[in-house]
Homo-oligomer: A and B are copies of this chain.
Amino acid sequence: MIKMNLQFSDGLKNMKPSEIRELLKYASKKDFISFSGGMPNPLTFPMDEIRQIIDEVMRDYGSLALQYGNTGGLNELREEISKMVLETEGIKTTMEGTIVTSGSQQGLYELAKVMLNPGDTVITEEPTYVGAISAFDANKAEMHSIKIDDEGMDTHAAEEEIKRLISAGRKPKFIYLIPTFQNPTGITMSLERRKHITEISSRYSIPIVEDNPYGELRYSGQKIPSLKSLDHEDSVIYMGTFSKVMCPGFRLGYTIAPVDYVNRANLLKQALDLSSSTFSQYVAWLYLKKGIMKTMIPKAVSLYRKKRDAMFKALEESFPEGSKWSRPDGGMFIWATLDRRINTSDLLKESVEAGVAYVSGNSFSPSRSQGSSMRLNFTFAEEKKIFEGMERLGNLVEKKLSILESP
């Protein structure tokens, strides 16, 4: 057969295949331990409650739930989401300001497409969420990433970069932040920094995008107000997800934004997928309405706290001197940084062969400056496996170091 050569666009040329996806083929191997995905633990899925809700959806809303739905989302669900974010994050919004997305990943894609012309600049954290990098890359954004420390993004450095970009005629279109239990580092932005970035946003008239998938998963420390609740100019676009407080399999997220933005995002969504699954939305609506989320979260928090503490302990025990790691109060990830002579992308193949996986630092790095770091997920593996996997990984790093140090 003579095959036709397809001529593809160059629209995807900045995008890279995900390491994680490559690794999935190993993940089914017996005894393989993965710290790579951002997967919630299935023990947290409220199976019985979801089963009951599904029965109710099929019984009482069947022909609606299986039909096409509104592009912007099921009104009843949007209403419940707006109540929920008021309660959990002090966010005042309405149904009209709330849109349902097919996972918060779609929210990020819509953000990029609604806000960015090719070549536009955006400010992100360094490192930042790999899915945000994908969405921004797919729309040819130029990311300017600002280092984070234990208190989150260095807002003074952010302001300097913003001033520099403005004077070069390249004013950033938005500042993208995961201020609470950040992905990949687990770090939470301090209140002082939150206030500062809000001032900067206002001063230079640059909207903030607050991505908050993990906010409810706090294992220690005090809650800090969301950026959106500090927003007095309707200039924060807020994103959340059901993946971490219900389950990921229904693919539902939401965006809370100014109405102009909502209209444009929905216009785009007509082209993206017409609407998110109507069935999923009915399930999520009853899930919120019946208060199941409120009973599920404490269980997840208690399970994940133990796992986080196990990983802290395992890191202490197994990782060689010269390694350091973040001490997150919540979320799903610990960020470990090794001796700077070790490249975690190179190490990954050996690590996978040794039966343990992580995501290498540069996957999260717009500036490709996180070569010695790795993201470790602690929510999925069993406690015993956490110790076992960290021991394998620690041994591998020690071996690497001893080769480097041998004369």
A interface residue numbers (CB < 8 A to B):
1-12, 15, 17-18, 21, 24, 37, 39-40, 42, 45, 47, 50-51, 54, 58, 62-63, 65-71, 102-103, 105-106, 108-109, 113-117, 120, 131, 134-135, 137-139, 173, 201-202, 205, 207, 232-235, 243, 247-251, 258, 260-261, 263-264, 267-268, 270-280
Contacts and interface: CB of A to CB of B under 8 A. Distances in A.
Contact of A138 (B261, B268, B275): B268
A117 B271 CA distance: 17
Contacts of A276: 102, 251
30 contacts: A3-B258, A4-B201, A4-B233, A4-B235, A6-B260, A15-B268, A17-B267, A39-B67, A42-B66, A42-B67, A47-B58, A47-B63, A50-B66, A65-B249, A66-B248, A66-B249, A67-B248, A68-B243, A68-B249, A102-B273, A102-B277, A108-B271, A109-B272, A131-B270, A131-B271, A249-B279, A251-B276, A272-B272, A273-B273, A280-B280
A66 B138 contact: no
A12 to B, nearest CB: 6
B117 A10 contact: yes
A399 B311 CA distance: 77
Given A62-B47, A138-B268, A251-B277, A233 B109 contact: no
Given A4-B233, A66-B50, A15 B258 contact: no
Nearest to A113: B11
A9 B278 CA distance: 29
Contact of A274 (B9, B105, B139, B201): B105
Contacts of A268: 12, 15, 138
B109 A273 contact: yes
B9 A232 contact: no
A50 to B, nearest CB: 7
